[in-house]
Each structure stands twice: as C-alpha cells, then as structure tokens.
Amino acid sequence: MAKTNRNSSIKPAELSNPGLLILDMVNCFDFEGAGDLEPAARAAAKCVHRLRAAFRERGWPVIYVNDNFGEWHSEASSLVARALEERNPVTELLKPGPSDYFIIKPQFSGFYATNLPVLLPQLGVSKLVLSGIATDICVLFTAADAHMREYDLWVPRDAVAAESEERGRWALEIMAQSMSAQTSATSDLTIDEWLNSLKR
C-alpha cells in the first residue's frame, strides 16, 4: 500500500466515510481481449475521473486496487510507470496522486490476500463506490467480497467496463439483485443522493 499525507485523526470506530475503489485502471491493455475492453475503459475513465475529483474535494479516500500483472517484484510506482510508457489514455487520465492509496492485488478480488480489509476500517469507510475493469471479473468479485463484509455498494454502470455490453449487464444485474448494489449511472445519481438513500 502506497500513500502520503495520511490523516492520522481518523479512528477505526468512525465508520461513516464513503471510499472510492478504482480497479485495474493502471493498465497497459496488452492482454487477450484488451482490444474489446479498452474502448469501453476509456469511456468509463472519464466518469471515474469525475468521481475521483469529487472524492478528493471532500477529503474522502481514493483507493487504487490494481493487479500486479504477474510482476511479483513490482511496486505501485513501477506499475504506473510501465503503464505510462505505453501512452495509454486511461492511465494518463487516472494516474494516482500523492493523496491516493494504492494496493496491489494478486487475484480478481481487491480483498483477497491484500490489506484492503484492514485499511478500510482505519479510514472510517463503511460505504464503497466501485469503479474500473472488468465489470464481470474483478469488479464483480470485489463487490461480492465487499457485500459479505456488509459494505453499502454503488457500482455506477458508466464508471465500469467489460469486454462486451452483454457481460457487463449480466454482472451488474448480479450485483444489484444478489448484493443489494446500486448500479445507476453517475448521470442519473449523485453521490449525495446515494448517501441520502442509505439513511432512509
């Protein structure tokens, strides 16, 4: 986990903050199926960029959760540098900043064999906005683990991407029906509206 400017005043018991998870958007798109996924990821990146700006403005945690792409000796800065070498517009738009957290995951779920389950309570996070790729793989598995840990979930359909629209819709339906996730697009729901809906 990489991070600077950590707010030490946050106590684990203060579970009221939303957190933004950005999944696998630091990416070279050099894997099988990337040609189908990358255009959708570029569109989603614009929505993620706006979400990230809103979270940063309010001082809420922005957490990158990224695959190591089989590079077991890599750290966050190396993964970012490698992706930027490819001049990929997704990573260029969403390059992590010094106030963001960065967690490297070895498998599909952001919770599996990472310190995310420890970090979120330390940041006072009880609600999660999931964004990134791919909707039907890493986003879906992370949402399932978050649901089992009783996090409130919003997975904005315009802030995630899959290799096909059909697989993306299928995954969003599962998250909505089986994990009680909100899946409205950011164009249809604001952060404040989502948070207020959780209080009812």
Domains and CATH numbers, the chain: 17-198 (3.40.50.850)
CA 38 to chain centre: 16
pLDDT tens digits, 30-80 = 888 888 999 999 999 999 999 999 999 999 999 999 998 766 656 888 889
> Mean pLDDT over residues 166-175, rounded?
98
> Mean pLDDT over residues 82-111, rounded?
94
User: Count of residues for the chain?
Assistant: 200
pLDDT tens digits, 173-194 = 999 999 999 999 999 999 999 9
Q: How far apart are CA 153 and CA 166, in angstroms?
A: 21
Higher-confidence residue: 188 or 16?
188
pTM, to two decimals:
0.91
Q: What is the number of other CB atoms lying within 10 angstroms of the CB of residue 138?
A: 23
Structure tokens at 45: 């990146």
Rounded mean pLDDT of the chain? 91
Closest among 6, 133, 136, 139 to 62, alpha carbons compared: 6
CA 99 to chain centre: 15
CA–CA distance from 112 to each of 18, 23, 51, 66, 90 (Å)? 20, 13, 25, 12, 25
pLDDT band at 1 (very low <50, low <70, confident <90, very high): low
